[in-house]
Amino acid sequence: MIKIAVDRDKCQNYAQCVLEAPDVFRLNDDEKLEYTGDAEDDRLADLESAADVCPMQAILITRA
Amino acid sequence: MANQALLIVGASIAGLRTAESARRAGYKGPITFVGAETHRPYNRPPLSKGLLRTHGQGHEDVAFPLRSGLDGVDWVLGAPAVALDRAARIVRDANGRDHQYDALVIATGLSPKPLPIPDHGLGGIRVLRTLEDAVGLREVLTPGTRVVILGSGFIGCEIAATAAHAGAEVSIVTQSRVPLERALGPILGAELLRRHEAHGVRFYCGESLFGVVGDTNVERVILTGGVVLECDVLVVAVGSDPQTSWLQESGLDITDGVLVDSGLRAITTEDDLDRRVVAVGDVARYVNPLFDSIPRRVEHWNLPTETGKRAGQILAVQLAGGDADALAATPFAPLPSFWSDQYDANLLAFGMTYLADRSELVAGTPDTECVTEYFRGENLVGVCGIGMRSAVQSYRSRFVVPVA
C-alpha cells in the first residue's frame, strides 16, 4: 500500500495534483482539496507525479 | 553501459527531476550533481512568501525529498561550474576540479539582474534568488523599515506583500502602469494595484531609478521623475538572466539561454545537435508547439519538472544505445502553469499570458474572485483566475497542439 498525506498548513488548494491522480485527489464544492489516504502500489508513478507538481510541496507519498 | 556517467550541473529542481526520470527510465550508472550553492535542491517559490515571513525556517523547510533511486549520487556543492569542454567531455568547477561526463545536464537556472545603475558599493541593496538571499532579506523586513522595491513582477509584488505584512513601509518603483502588467495585463494589474495600496504599499508607476545615495548604506533613492524616497533597503527585482557564462567557450548557442531541440538537446552555434548535452529548467530555450514555433525561455515553476522528466528519459535511452532521436521527435508541448499569493489574492494561471495582446474578464469580479482570458489575435494563449480554481482548471483541455 501507498500512504498519502497532505500538509494542510502548506496546501493552498492549487489542485495541480488532481490532474495527475484524479482517483486520489479532488476539489470539493468549496474548492478545497480532498484526498484518499491510501492507494494500491501500482499508483506509485502517478502519485509521485502529483507530489512533484504540487507548488507548495505539501504532498508526502510513502510506501507502507 | 554501467560506467556511463551522468553529470548534472545545477543542484536544482530541474536537475533533480532529470536525475529521477533517468533512473525511472532504467539508467543505473553514476550520477554527479555539481552545484554553485551549498545546498541540495530546494523549492524556491516559498522564498518570497512563507519562508520570507517565517523566522526560523531554513533549508529543511523547503528541501525536496530525495527518492530512494538517488541514494548514492555524488553531490559536489559550493562549486560553480566555470567551463565546458565538449570535445573532452569535461566540466571544470570553480575549485579547479574536472568532471568527466558521458551525458551532461545543464540546469544552472537564472541569476537576478543587478541594479541597472551604479550602486557605488552601497550596502542595503538586495536581490532575491537563493535561500541565503531570502534569509538575509527576512532579517531586515522589520516594522518601520523603509523598503523600496524596484520592479513589479511576481517577485517584486510578493516581496512587497510579505514586507507589508511584516510592518515595513513599502514602495514599489516600476516602469509599468500597473503591477504585473506584462504577465497579467491591465485588468488584473489594476486589481493587484488596488489590493497592494489597500495594504499601504505605495506605487511609483512609469518611473525608474535615477540614482542611489548614502554613506555606507543606501539612504535615499532618486527617481527619474525627481521624486526622492527615503530608503533603508532597496530590493532589485527587475528580472533574471540565464546562468550561461560558464558556457561561453562551449560552442553551444547561448543566445538568451541554451537553445535546445524538442528533446531538450543542445544546439551548437553551427546548428548541430549535441546528443550528449541537454538543458532543462529556466536556462533552456525551446519551441512550444502549443503557442508557435519561436524558441523561448519560460520561467514558470512547473517547467523544470516537465523539461527534466523528458530530458532524463531521453538521456537514459541515449546512454543505453537506444533510439533517442525517435523519442525526441515526439511533440514536447508542456502547458506552463503558475500561481502567486499576495495578501488574500490566490492567483492561478495556465498558458503564456504575456504573449497576449488583450485580456478579457469572463467570470466574477476582480475585487472578489474572477477569471480572465488572454488572447493573441483570435487565439487563447492563457487564463488566470483570482480564486475560482475549478473554473481555471477546466481551461487546461483547451490548450492543444494544432494539427499540422
pLDDT at position B68 is: 82
Give whole-number Cα distances, B71 to B12, B28, B68, B259, B313, in Å: 17, 11, 5, 31, 19
**Type of residue at B325:** D
Interchain proximity A53–B302, CB inside 8 Å: yes
**pLDDT, averaged across chain B:** 96
Which amino acid appears at position B198 of this protein?
A
* Cβ contact B320:B1 at 8 Å: yes
Distance from CA of B263 to the nearest CA of A (A): 20
Element (H, E) at A51: helix A44-53
Which of A14, A19, A57 is facing B43, going by the closest CB pair?
A57
Q: How do residues B6-57 score in pLDDT, each as one tens digit? A: 999 999 999 999 999 999 999 999 999 999 999 999 999 999 999 999 999 9
Judge whether residue A63 has pLDDT over 90: no
Report the distance separating Cα B292 and Cα B182, nearest Å. 19
Q: How far apart are CA B132 and CA A19, in angstroms?
A: 34
Q: Judge if pTM exceeds 0.90.
A: yes
> Rounded distance, CA B275 to CA B108, Å?
19
Find, among B356, B360, B336, the residue nearest to B348 by Cα: B336
Q: How confident is the model at residue B4 (pLDDT cuts 50, 70, 90)?
A: confident
Burial class (CB in 10 A: 0-12, 13-18, 19+), B118: exposed
Whether B38 and chain A come into contact, CB under 8 Å, resolves to no
| Mean pLDDT calculated for residue range B184-204 | 97
CA atoms within 13 A on the CB side of B198: 11
Q: What is the pLDDT of residue B1?
A: 44
For residue B304, give the C-alpha cell.
Answer: 523544470
Instruction: Name the region of B26 (left: φ>0; alpha: ψ -120 to 50; beta: rest).
Output: left
* pLDDT computed for residue A9 by the predictor: 87
Enclosing H/E stretch for B162: helix B154-165
Q: How confident is the model at residue B2 (pLDDT cuts 50, 70, 90)?
A: very low
* A14 interface with B at CB cutoff 8 Å: yes
Q: Which residues of B touch A10 (CB under 8 A)?
A: 50
Euclidean distance between the first and final Cα of chain A, in Å? 5
Q: How many Cβ pairs closer than 8 A exist between chain A and B? A: 40
Q: How far is B336 from chain A (nearest CA, A)?
A: 12
Mean pLDDT confidence for B238-251: 98
Q: Are A37 and A5 in contact (CB under 8 A)?
A: yes
Do B262 and B284 meet the contact criterion of CB atoms below 8 Å apart? no
As given in the structure block, the three cell numbers for residue B284 are 533552456
DSSP B68: G
Q: Dihedral (C-alpha) B143, B148, B149, B152: value to the nearest 10 degrees?
A: 100
Contact A53 B305 (CB under 8 A): yes
Q: Which of B346, B388, B390 sits opposite A12 (nearest CB)?
A: B346
Contact criterion met (CB below 8 Å) for B31 and B22: yes
Cβ pair A47, A4 in contact under 8 A: yes
Query: How confident is the model at residue A15, as a pLDDT?
Result: 87
Q: Is the pLDDT confidence value at B89 over 90?
A: yes
What span, in angstroms and rounded, lies between the C-alpha atoms of B194 and B177? 13
Whole-number pLDDT of residue B3: 65
Beta strands in B48-201 (DSSP E): 74-76, 81-85, 90-93, 98-100, 103-106, 110-112, 125-126, 146-150, 169-174
Higher pLDDT, B373 or B403: B373
Q: Is A46 on the interface with B (CB under 8 A)?
A: no
Structure confidence at residue B404 (pLDDT): 59
Contacts for B84 with CB less than 8 Å, ≥ 6 apart = B90, B91, B92, B104, B246, B247, B249, B250, B252
Closest CB from A10, A31, A52 relative to B17:
A52
- Please tell me what DSSP assigns to residue B296: B
pLDDT given at position B370: 98
Report the SS3 class of residue B303: helix
Tell me which residue has cell 538521456: B315
The per-residue pLDDT for A64 is 76
Encode pLDDT of B310-347 as tens digits.
Answer: 999 999 999 999 999 999 999 999 999 999 989 989 99
**Residue B187, helix vs strand vs coil:** helix
Residue B67 near chain A (CB below 8 Å)? yes
Residue B193 CB coordination number (10 Å): 24
- The residues, ordered by sequence, that sit 6+ positions from B130 with a Cβ below 8 Å of its Cβ are B37, B47
